[in-house]
Amino acid sequence: MNRSIGVLGPEGTFSEKAAKRYSPEASLRYYRDFEEVIAAVEGGEVDLGVVPLENSLEGSVGMTLDALLRRDVKITGEINLRVRHCLLGIGRPEEVKVILSHPQALAQCRSYLKRRFPQVELRTTGSTSHAAKLAGEFSEMAAIADAEAAEQYDLSVIERDVQDSDQNVTRFVVVGREAPEPSGRDKTSLAVYLERAEPGALWEVLGEFAKRGINLTKIESRPSKRGLGDYYFFIDLEGHVSDPLVEEALARIRERAAMTKVLGSYPRTDPGGTSER
């Protein structure tokens, strides 16, 4: 029986492409935003979800981090996808008055848009494929989206590779309800909340990993929304939550932190991603 995977819709998104890379035979279901995808996994509507977690140009995707923090789900895998954006439409470049796309895609093409279309109105949409669908309605509209979306929505590729860097990689995570077994080459993602950020509190938390030789691959803060200067810390580390040294470090951190949530332990992949055109 094929698994079902929830992704951002409609058809033609990079989330869809990442899901097909992860499980080509899976049945896909489409949702309006990343929060809905993760909620569908938690509620059992789909077996898994594939959502973007961070981009090499624009950083983390806040909606995904917030949903992972609130929802009872686990990160079970990751897919690093090299993203190539194109300008799609039915008109000529000189006709374009409005360019549509998802906020992340517009941000990844910021320099190109300022240089090539300084007077054009930019409008955000729920996904790159939704932008492509809308761009087919008027010649004055164009979309930033994947080249494959041009075929999906009968558009022309006006310009290719419009992202601001060739090293544009988006890290997608696979979200499920059950944690995978250790693979021997794993990554663990955590969220830590220090209710009273006393001097040196974060240093002490990070020191628990350092003294055990556990390599941290990412650490960032995100507002807790409880007040200015109040943060959650999101940490990625090499190793599985069941590894003795990781277990030991987490036990010590839980003594210091007001909240420690393991977002998942899962096989890690090459950070470079694979080119998609």
- From the list 172, 209, 233, 234, the catalytic residue is 172
- From the list 170, 188, 209, 260, the catalytic residue is 170
Q: What angle do CA 228, 231, 232 make, to 5 degrees?
A: 155
Which amino acid type is present at position 5?
I
Whether 233 is catalytic is: no
Whether 124 is catalytic is: no
Residue with tokens 């250790």: 182
Question: CA–CA separation, 156 vs 97, rounded Å?
Answer: 16
Residue with tokens 């955590």: 190
Our measurement of the distance from residue 138's CA atom to the centroid of its chain's CA atoms, rounded to an integer in Å, reads: 30
Is the Cβ–Cβ distance between 175 and 50 less than 8 Å? yes
Return the bridge partners of 8, or none.
31
Is the Cβ–Cβ distance between 12 and 37 less than 8 Å? no
Residues annotated as catalytic are 170, 172
